[in-house]
Chain A
């Protein structure tokens, strides 16, 4: 599975959009991009995933560049409860395992 690179930490003002970047320059054609978050030692929570196209759900949007070497998770209106560690993970399809890296610690401030 491809390795990902994320900034170790980011700040965001409450109510503003949080844009979390992820580089995955060695991603291959059958590998998906997944995002999870972990709030203070709770179990990680699935956010969104995609292969090529941009995706949106009730939690976030995922923007994947055309060459698929990077992606951005967007939380459109960050709240204090979005403070968490966000993990970007690249994995193959059926049978691929999640490999968690260090993630980005997002702090949403009032």
Chain B
């Protein structure tokens, strides 16, 4: 969905490096989410935010942190990347009915 953008789309990094994945949305939604997807598996929730001052941990938040800089921006950071964080990362936004709109994904490889 072009209303939700993610940068970068692909990233290769080394173990121990700090990296940031960024998400922007033009849908005007208050709610934003970060998911990861591993090959052959469904999506798992990392963090979510219901408004700029609200940050919540999801199922698998260890090793990750987030920042909600504005209503439209939600960033995910890997403080010290490790190989098992290699995955496809998706950002999403939702309206009050919780219909979620996903970005195109960031493919991350940690060597």
Q: Which residue numbers of A lie inside 8 Å of B, CB to CB? A: 32, 34, 36, 41-46, 49, 87, 91, 93-103
Check A46/B42 contact, CB under 8 A, given A94-B96, A97-B48, A97-B58.
no
Q: Which residue numbers of B lie inside 8 Å of A, CB to CB? A: 1, 4, 35, 37, 41-45, 48, 50, 58, 88, 90, 92, 96-105
Q: Complex formed: what's the CA distance from A36 to B100 in Å? A: 9
Query: Could you tell me if B42 and A43 are in contact, using CB atoms closer than 8 angstroms?
Result: no
What is the distance, in angstroms, from B37's C-beta to the closest C-beta of chain A? 8
Check A96/B98 contact, CB under 8 A, given A44-B90, A103-B42.
yes
What is the distance, in angstroms, from A28's C-beta to the closest C-beta of chain B? 16
Query: Could you tell me if A98 and B45 are in contact, using CB atoms closer than 8 angstroms?
Result: yes
Judged by DSSP, the binding face of A is loop
Judged by DSSP, the binding face of B is strand
Other than the given A32-B98, A44-B43, A98-B43, 11 more pairs (CB < 8 A) read A34-B98, A34-B99, A36-B100, A43-B1, A44-B102, A45-B102, A96-B98, A97-B45, A97-B58, A98-B100, A100-B42
Residues of A within 8 A of B102 (CB): 43-45
Sample 28 A-B pairs with CB under 8 A, ordered by A number.
Answer: A32-B98, A34-B98, A34-B99, A36-B100, A41-B88, A41-B105, A42-B104, A43-B4, A43-B92, A43-B103, A43-B104, A43-B105, A44-B100, A45-B102, A49-B97, A93-B98, A94-B96, A95-B50, A96-B98, A98-B45, A98-B98, A98-B100, A99-B45, A100-B35, A100-B43, A100-B44, A102-B41, A102-B42
Query: Could you tell me if A46 and B100 are in contact, using CB atoms closer than 8 angstroms?
Result: yes
Task: Using CB atoms, name the residue of chain B closest to A32.
Answer: B98
Q: Complex formed: what's the CA distance from A44 to B104 in Å? A: 9
What is the distance, in angstroms, from A84's C-beta to the closest C-beta of chain B? 13
Q: Complex formed: what's the CA distance from A81 to B48 in Å? A: 31
